[in-house]
């Protein structure tokens, strides 16, 4: 297939790692309990911790053991971001705000075009130079390695809204948004996660390189570049670089990604499949540069555009289409309109269709 081409993918008949959401038994199912003795010592220890929660978690009704170190990190990074907005944002020069927007876009693309649409779903192919660019952008976002992020995401798609889902939205907005990162993962995430094939990414040279040097890469791209580059190029205050271009930008990027797991799983229209939680949410579309068409995405997860509407409210798709024109992206998978209409008639929430069409085309 020629570079820049789009392949019309049929609706899959069999389940794969990125197939539409599949309901599976929760942690109380017999298959989860019967094989405990065959599980790794790590998972057995985790099951024991869930069965014997510390007093704080028991007292306040938490379902999972809290990882207090992650709680402290979350508190500190948000305090730094808020302090930066109040004290140093007014002092930032206009070149720094342009840099902020560009670096924010790069960071978002590292998640949306990179670890999500390319590495997790394999919804298009990319040349090696563009893969390296996306890997560097992904380091700016600093949301775990490509391999770990993709593993969690593939498990999320295969076992959406069950205990095996790392950020199960049925446990509430806060848990799905950021609470899941402050608690130990449910044992079912590891048990069911063994059913997800990660061999492709384990053998991916770019993903493997990033995993090997992840902390050093993140130190450079997440912190040093936004602090030192503005200082060296146009004399920006180092404190502005640290508090605004690093801390505030980083936290803003985190929340834009987290909104896909929380808001887009709780509120919005369901024109493609009214039987699942993921929803099309316009606010999330804007905040996450195109990832808010979530009912579509969970119905057709292999579509590179994550939307029926192509570039509409979808900056990531615009960038991918531009890269295809330049020959850096090719074999973009896209669902045929006939397949979309067939699935929508069979599964869609009709009341959501008209509203979604109006917002997407205006």
HSE of 251 in the Cβ direction (CA atoms, 13 Å)?
18
- Among 241, 261, 281, give the residue marking a domain's end: 261
Looking at the structure, tell me whether residues 269 and 256 fall in a common domain: no
Closest CA to 297 of 8, 2, 13, 21: 21
Looking at the structure, tell me whether residues 242 and 335 fall in a common domain: no
How many Å from the N-terminal Cα to the C-terminal Cα in the chain? 33
Looking at the structure, tell me whether residues 245 and 160 fall in a common domain: yes
Looking at the structure, tell me whether residues 250 and 345 fall in a common domain: no
- Among 245, 261, 277, give the residue marking a domain's end: 261
Let me know if residue 36 belongs to a domain.
Answer: no
Looking at the structure, tell me whether residues 353 and 244 fall in a common domain: no
Looking at the structure, tell me whether residues 249 and 270 fall in a common domain: no
The predicted-structure confidence for 302-361, as pLDDT tens digits, reads as follows 999 999 998 888 999 999 999 999 999 999 999 999 999 999 999 998 776 545 554 555
Q: Which of 8-12, 137-141, 151-155, 273-277 has the lowest mean pLDDT?
A: 8-12
| 288, 112 Cβ separation under 8 angstroms | yes
| 293, 310 Cβ separation under 8 angstroms | no
Let me know if residue 3 belongs to a domain.
Answer: no
Looking at the structure, tell me whether residues 208 and 175 fall in a common domain: yes
At residue 265 the predicted structure's pLDDT band, cuts being 50, 70 and 90, is: very high
Rounded to 10 deg, the angle between the 68-83 and 249-261 helix axes is 120
Number of domains in the chain: 2
Q: Please state the pTM of the whole predicted model.
A: 0.86
Helix H segments across 63-221?
68-83, 94-109, 128-141, 146-158, 173-177, 187-193, 199-202, 205-212, 214-218
Chain mean pLDDT for the chain: 88
pLDDT at residue 345, rounded to an integer: 92
Let me know if residue 29 belongs to a domain.
Answer: no
Looking at the structure, tell me whether residues 210 and 193 fall in a common domain: yes
- Quick one: what percent of the chain has pLDDT higher than 90? 75
pLDDT at residue 42, rounded to an integer: 77
The predicted-structure confidence for 58-87, as pLDDT tens digits, reads as follows 777 788 889 999 999 999 999 999 999 999
| 184, 64 Cβ separation under 8 angstroms | yes
Let me know if residue 37 belongs to a domain.
Answer: no
Let me know if residue 7 belongs to a domain.
Answer: no
Let me know if residue 21 belongs to a domain.
Answer: no
Let me know if residue 44 belongs to a domain.
Answer: no
At residue 150 the predicted structure's pLDDT band, cuts being 50, 70 and 90, is: very high
**Structural domain containing residue 90:** 63-261
pLDDT at residue 284, rounded to an integer: 96
pLDDT at residue 251, rounded to an integer: 98
Give just the sign of the alpha carbon dihedral 130, 286, 23, 33.
positive
Looking at the structure, tell me whether residues 308 and 350 fall in a common domain: yes
- Cα separations (Å) of 17 from 12, 28, 120, 200, 233? 12, 23, 9, 12, 45
pLDDT at residue 353, rounded to an integer: 58
- Among 261, 284, 304, give the residue marking a domain's end: 261
Looking at the structure, tell me whether residues 108 and 249 fall in a common domain: yes
Token look-up 């099951």 returns 47
Token look-up 């950021």 returns 178
What average pLDDT score do residues 199-227 get?
A: 97
pLDDT at residue 98, rounded to an integer: 98
Dihedral over alpha carbons 283, 285, 291, 292 (to 10 degrees): 50
Looking at the structure, tell me whether residues 256 and 267 fall in a common domain: no
Looking at the structure, tell me whether residues 85 and 231 fall in a common domain: yes
Let me know if residue 329 belongs to a domain.
Answer: yes
pLDDT at residue 167, rounded to an integer: 96
pLDDT at 22 over 80: no
DSSP, residue by residue, 255-267:
HHHHHHHTGGGTS
pLDDT at residue 132, rounded to an integer: 98
Where does residue 142 fall: left (phi above 0), alpha (psi -120 to 50 degrees), or beta otherwise?
A: left
Closest CA to 21 of 256, 258, 265: 265
């Amino acid at each position: 297939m020629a570079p820049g081409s789009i392949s019309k993918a049929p609706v899959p008949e069999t389940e794969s790692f990125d197939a539409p959401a599949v309901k599976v038994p929760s942690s109380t199912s017999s298959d989860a309990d019967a094989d405990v003795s065959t599980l790794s010592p790590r998972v057995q220890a985790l099951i024991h911790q869930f069965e014997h929660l510390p007093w704080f978690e028991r007292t306040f009704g938490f379902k999972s053991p809290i990882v207090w170190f992650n709680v402290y990190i979350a508190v500190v990074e948000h305090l730094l971001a808020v302090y930066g907005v109040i004290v140093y944002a007014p002092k930032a020069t206009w070149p720094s705000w342009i840099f902020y927007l560009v670096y924010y876009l790069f960071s978002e693309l590292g998640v949306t075009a990179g670890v999500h649409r390319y590495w997790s779903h394999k919804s298009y192919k990319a040349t090696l130079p563009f893969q390296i660019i996306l890997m560097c952008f992904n380091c700016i976002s600093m949301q775990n390695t490509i391999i770990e992020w993709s593993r969690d995401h593939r498990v999320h798609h295969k076992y959406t809204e069950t205990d095996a889902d790392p950020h199960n939205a049925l446990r509430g907005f806060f848990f799905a948004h950021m609470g899941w990162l402050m608690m130990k993962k449910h044992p079912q995430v590891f048990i069911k996660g063994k059913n997800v094939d990660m061999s492709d990414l384990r053998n991916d040279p770019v993903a493997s390189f990033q995993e090997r040097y992840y902390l050093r890469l993140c130190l450079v791209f997440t912190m040093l570049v936004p602090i030192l580059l503005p200082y060296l190029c146009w004399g920006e205050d180092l404190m502005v670089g640290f508090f605004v271009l690093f801390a505030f930008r980083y936290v803003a990027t985190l929340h834009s990604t987290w909104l896909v797991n929380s808001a887009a799983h709780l509120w919005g229209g369901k024109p493609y499949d009214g039987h699942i939680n993921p929803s099309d949410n316009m606010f999330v579309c804007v905040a996450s540069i195109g990832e808010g068409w979530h009912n579509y995405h969970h119905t057709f997860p292999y579509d590179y555009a994550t939307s029926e509407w192509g570039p509409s409210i979808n900056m990531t798709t615009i960038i991918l289409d531009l890269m295809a024109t330049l020959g850096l992206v090719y074999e973009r998978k896209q669902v045929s309109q006939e397949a979309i209409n067939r699935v929508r008639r069979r599964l869609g929430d009709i009341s959501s269709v008209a509203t979604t069409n109006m917002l997407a085309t205006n």
